[in-house]
Amino acid sequence: MKDSITVDELAAMLRGGVSRVRRDLDLLTRLDSAIGDGDHGLAMQRAADAIEAALAGGAGSLGDLLSRVGWEVMSIDGGSTGPLLGSLFLGMSDGAGPAASLDRDQLRALFEAGLNGLRGATGAKVGDKTLMDALIPAVDAIAACPAGADIPACLAAAAEAAERGAEATRPLRARFGRARNLGDRAIGHLDPGAVTVSLLFRGFAEALAPLPPPRDPESEENPSHGR
């Protein structure tokens, strides 16, 4: 039963998230080309580079590590991606404090602090077709994780919730970002930011334990089968 994570394990989770995102940069570009300006794959490549640069600086405390990650990501050139993801990681660093390791409750508090950090940067809620559609259910899943579940199981539940949340953006109109201007034409497309969050959480979870394969996010991107 794994019921705490160390700084090194958190770094491994971040590397897992980065590596999962890197495998799907082309997907993120295609999704953003459909309803945005097509730069999200490039922005996430820069964010991935920034996270890895921050991780290469050595661990220190959890809070120091997440703060370095947050500031590096905040400073990338990539539209809204840097400030939004940067706020998530800086919020997480506030939630980590000086701890050398986290138990389950502290991990929940860490992600809740990250969500609060992001809430300082965007007013988007579930249903607005943004990254929040994946992040809020993921953080809720960690908070709702049953008492007997260990940390890898809680992160797996978060990854599944984020994937369902990203998938749920498909029928929505957008209420934020460029996609808002598309009105009904955004319907039928996944939100790229929500998909990014689902990839990050899958990578976080897979860094601690294997997961069953995800749904293909593009399997219904071409709405030809009976809808």
Q: Which stretch binds Mg ion (CB under 5 A): 34-42, 86-94, 151-159, 183-191?
A: 34-42
Q: Which stretch binds Mg ion (CB under 5 A): 37-45, 69-77, 85-93, 97-105?
A: 37-45
Q: Which stretch binds Mg ion (CB under 5 A): 27-35, 86-94, 162-170, 201-209?
A: 27-35
What residues from 80 to 139 belong to the interface with Mg ion (CB under 5 A)?
A: none
Of the candidate residues 2, 8, 23, 37, the single one contacting Mg ion (CB under 5 A): 37
The reply on whether position 77 binds Mg ion by CB under 5 A is no
Which pairing describes strands 4-6 and 101-103: parallel, antiparallel, or unpaired?
antiparallel
Phi, psi of 22 (to 5 degrees): -60, -35
Minimum distance, C-beta of residue 34 to Mg ion, in the bound complex (Å): 11
Minimum distance, C-beta of residue 33 to Mg ion, in the bound complex (Å): 9
Minimum distance, C-beta of residue 193 to Mg ion, in the bound complex (Å): 9
Of the candidate residues 16, 18, 27, 40, the single one contacting Mg ion (CB under 5 A): 40
Of the candidate residues 32, 133, 140, 191, the single one contacting Mg ion (CB under 5 A): 32
Q: Which stretch binds Mg ion (CB under 5 A): 30-38, 45-53, 155-163, 166-174?
A: 30-38
Minimum distance, C-beta of residue 91 to Mg ion, in the bound complex (Å): 22
Minimum distance, C-beta of residue 176 to Mg ion, in the bound complex (Å): 12
Which DSSP string do the residues of the chain spell out, in sequence order? ---EEEHHHHHHHHHHHHHHHHHTHHHHHHHHHHHS-S-HHHHHHHHHHHHHHHHHT----HHHHHHHHHHHHHTSSSTTHHHHHHHHHHHHHHHHTT-SEEEHHHHHHHHHHHHHHHHTT----TTSSSTHHHHHHHHHHHHT--TT--HHHHHHHHHHHHHHHHHTTTTPPPSSSGGGGGGGGGTTS--HHHHHHHHHHHHHHHTTS--PPPP-TTTTTS--S--
Q: Which residues bind Mg ion (CB under 5 A)?
A: 32, 36-37, 39-40
